Amino acid sequence: MAEFERVVCASEEVQERGKSVKFPIPEFGERKNGFVVRYNGRIYGYVNQCAHVPVELDWNEGDFFDITNQFLICATHGAQYNPETGYCVLGPCKGKRLMPLKMKEHDGKIYLYLN
């Protein structure tokens, strides 16, 4: 199957360890969203669903980082995830991980790639 590319947002919308972008993923089913964050200069995308129970992580639209800006955090359970790998490092789902999304950044835009 051919790979499908879709623009998610402009690069400047995703701030280093700060404001992130949440976006719909209709290809994954009704009401599925993803999000993209910038951490140590790189972008990372995940399906917006806690590995513990199927709730979205962000506590405000586009806010995924904890107070230290070191980890992604689930607003419902407090589970903390490594932004680079999606693995839960603290909380009820320790050892599990967020579902990664293939993302690329070029020409001032961030793209989602689907098969």
pLDDT tens-digit series, residues 50-68:
998 889 999 888 899 999 9
What does the pLDDT read at residue 26? 87
Q: Which residue from 17, 16, 20, 68 is spatially nearest to 48, judged by alpha carbons? A: 20
What does the pLDDT read at residue 1? 54
What does the pLDDT read at residue 25? 93
What does the pLDDT read at residue 60? 87
CA dist., res. 17 & res. 66, Å (int): 9
**Half-sphere exposure at residue 93, Cβ-oriented, CA atoms within 13 angstroms:** 22
* Residues pairing with 72 in the sheet: 65, 81
Residue bearing tokens 């020409």: 107
What does the pLDDT read at residue 83? 98
Q: Which residues of the chain have pLDDT under 50?
A: none
What does the pLDDT read at residue 3? 77
CATH of the domain at 89: 2.102.10.10
What does the pLDDT read at residue 112? 97
The 3-state DSSP class for residue 63 equals strand
Please state the domain count of the chain: 1
Q: What's at 27, amino acid-wise?
A: E
List the domain range (segments joined by +) for residue 66.
4-114
What does the pLDDT read at residue 59? 83
Q: Is the pTM of this model over 0.85?
A: yes
